[in-house]
Chains A and B, each alone.
Chain A
Amino acid sequence: MRFNIGDWFASVIDWMLANVGWFFDGVAWLVSQIVGAVEIVLIGLHPFLIIALLAGAALALTRSLGLTLFSAAAFAVIVAMGLWVESMSTLAVVLVSVMFSLAIGIPLGIWAALNNTVSAVVRPVLDLMQAMPVFVYLIPAVFFFGVGMVPGIAATIVFAVPPAVRLTELGIRKLDLELLEAAMAFGAKKGLILKDVQLPLAFSSIMAGVNQVIMLALSMVVVAGLVGAGGLGGVVVQGVAQLDTARGFEGGLAVVILAVYLDRVTSGARSLGDVLRSRRAKKEQRAAAATAPVAAAAG
């Protein structure tokens, strides 16, 4: 006798469609409004202004001149290929998916780090979410949200939340026990320990999670193109369907440019804390050197 898990899953989906369909309609409407708003900004403003902003963000977050110049040039290439609008629409979808994934993943990761039961429950669920082939989410997502970019975003979130949870939990849990003891030994409350010690020291791990979430979201772009999400995914899918190698390659190249930009900027931001700290420390050293003769005279 066969045990029909698949049938059971399908009937759960059917039931949800019949009974809470209104809820998914509402979510679909809200998400498309948000993406629409982001798109209006990204597409509505002049490309050169956006390019300047993106390059400026690279400079601010990574403090690397090379990366800043590279991103300006690479985005100019996108404009030259005539893929600016598609790229910005993809960027909007990625940004919104990432926002939702982080809004779910980081708090869940914090909770899992502070509570062993939560951690034990969450872990297998994350394994399932991450190991399941993405197309499996895409099918019910289309049922719930219709075709377009919303099912793409929904599938992306399911796919991209796990690293945000895992790396947040890991970052907090790997904290040196002695530091946790030190914070407790001075009578700090749990909330203060989290805010003042655990989260700042988990920052680089959390940023690694952010980086992974972004890369996973971007990798979903082409897949989401299959369900009509438009943007660069649409371009690539179209290129493949029409056997148009040139178009497909251009779409792919634009995806790569976005990927490299987002990856470098977020992994640069990861060490931003250290950079600022060592800067402050150097400044302090200089100040100390300047006042040293005074201190010596006084002491």
Chain B
Amino acid sequence: MSAAPVKAPAGDRGDAMNTEGPFIRVDHLTKVYSLGKSARLGLPGRRSQAKGFTAVDDVSFDVKRGQIFVIMGLSGSGKSTIIRMLNRLIDASDGSITVDGRDVRSLPPAQLRAYRNQTINMVFQHFGLFPHKSLIDNVAFGLKVRGVDRATREAKAAEALTLVGLGDRIHAMPDQLSGGMKQRVGLARALATDAEILLMDEPFSALDPLIRKDMQELLVKLQRNFKKTIVFVTHDLNEAMYLGDRIMVMKQGRNVQTGTALDLLEAPADPYIEEFVAEVDRSKVLTAGMISKDPDPGMAAAAPGVPARSGHDAVRVSEATVLTELLPLLAAGTERVEVVDEHGTPVGHVTAETVLAALAPKEYSHAL
């Protein structure tokens, strides 16, 4: 498709990221399902006026480029409805959706198809693989829709399958795969089109816990390379905190709180979230980056990559290290652990005290 809008190559996004406005911006989004169906199903009448059933009620949020934004909430809280309004599988009743400056709700049909094909792809809870197509044909589907010739799209699809570790099974059929493998294909299909946004509606919920962990790690690994903008739906707070740069908690169609994992842990906005948070294993979701204090002046001055204070035995960990992994270091008597980002630039430090304070649930720290 030569008429495709030219996208900035991935490399150009770089540091402009922080200064530009939100990539996805959702304002006062509302969805009212027409009552007929839900009334017959006998659904609980939540604000079910004569007009219909309000599944999403005045929700606003925004997502920066390259972020993982998690929408989390119990069953029926409207998560799937929101994510489907972003690519217009469901049409919103009210409010606005802007993606990269474009008003999504007013796209005419042809532009909507181009938007879905090139900008925003989706990964499904039950994988949504076409059972009559081989893995490579499944993964190449988006490119086929785009009109890319067979050789090019198959090369691209094979590459995407290799990325998710299925490079040697490209001609297999979906029903020959386990659940985890199927979702790898689902992921590859969304990667193959180079769309910048991934919508993931409970992509790992149908998998058993170990496989689910694998998939979360795979997603984090891929995300490090691709810097997609991901909207991820889950009802599992551990998953939300592990993956989410920011988390929006939904309750009965409303946005109850939006913030980082640490925000939710430290300052839950209402008892509903407090209840959720009580279930979380802090040592596994909090990372060194989240709790680190200002970088040491001496460290910060050092050029990135150059070992600072050579001779001094500074212990370094990456931002993404979870607290459980810090405990052995601290137990071994390390007083101070330097925290560095992915380029090796120091971002702060943690001590035994900060780690223990972060692990202590809020009420206990108040009691002190």
Contact = CB atoms under 8 A, between A and B. Distances in A.
Contacts of A295: 167-168
A182 B124 contact: yes
Contacts of B122: 181-182, 185
Contacts of B172: 281, 284-285, 288
Contacts, number: 87
Interface residues of A, number: 29
A281 B173 contact: yes
Given A184-B89, A186-B145, A187-B115, A179 B171 contact: no
A197 B167 CA distance: 24
A123 interface: no
Contact of A185 (B87, B114, B130): B87
B126 interface: yes
B130 A197 contact: yes
A296 to B, nearest CB: 9
A107 interface: no
A179 B126 CA distance: 9
A187 B168 contact: no
B37 to A, nearest CB: 13
Contact of B130 (A181, A182, A187): A182
B176 A201 contact: no
A192 B193 CA distance: 17
Interface in B95-116: 112-116
A187 B146 CA distance: 8
Contacts of B141: 183, 186, 188, 196
Contacts of A291: 168
A287 interface: yes
A26 interface: no
Contact of A281 (B87, B129, B142, B176): B176
Contacts of B54: none
Contacts of A182: 122, 124, 128-130
A183 B130 CA distance: 9
A187 B171 contact: no
B169 A288 contact: yes
A200 interface: yes
Contacts of A280: 134, 171, 173
B131 interface: yes
A120 to B, nearest CB: 15
Interface in B116-143: 116-118, 121-122, 124-132, 134, 141-142
Given A179-B130, A295-B168, A186 B193 contact: yes
Contacts of B114: 187
Given A188-B113, A284-B172, 6 more contacts: A176-B126, A179-B128, A179-B130, A186-B189, A284-B173, A285-B176
Interface of B: 84, 87, 89, 112-118, 121-122, 124-132, 134, 141-142, 144-146, 167-169, 171-173, 176, 189, 193, 199
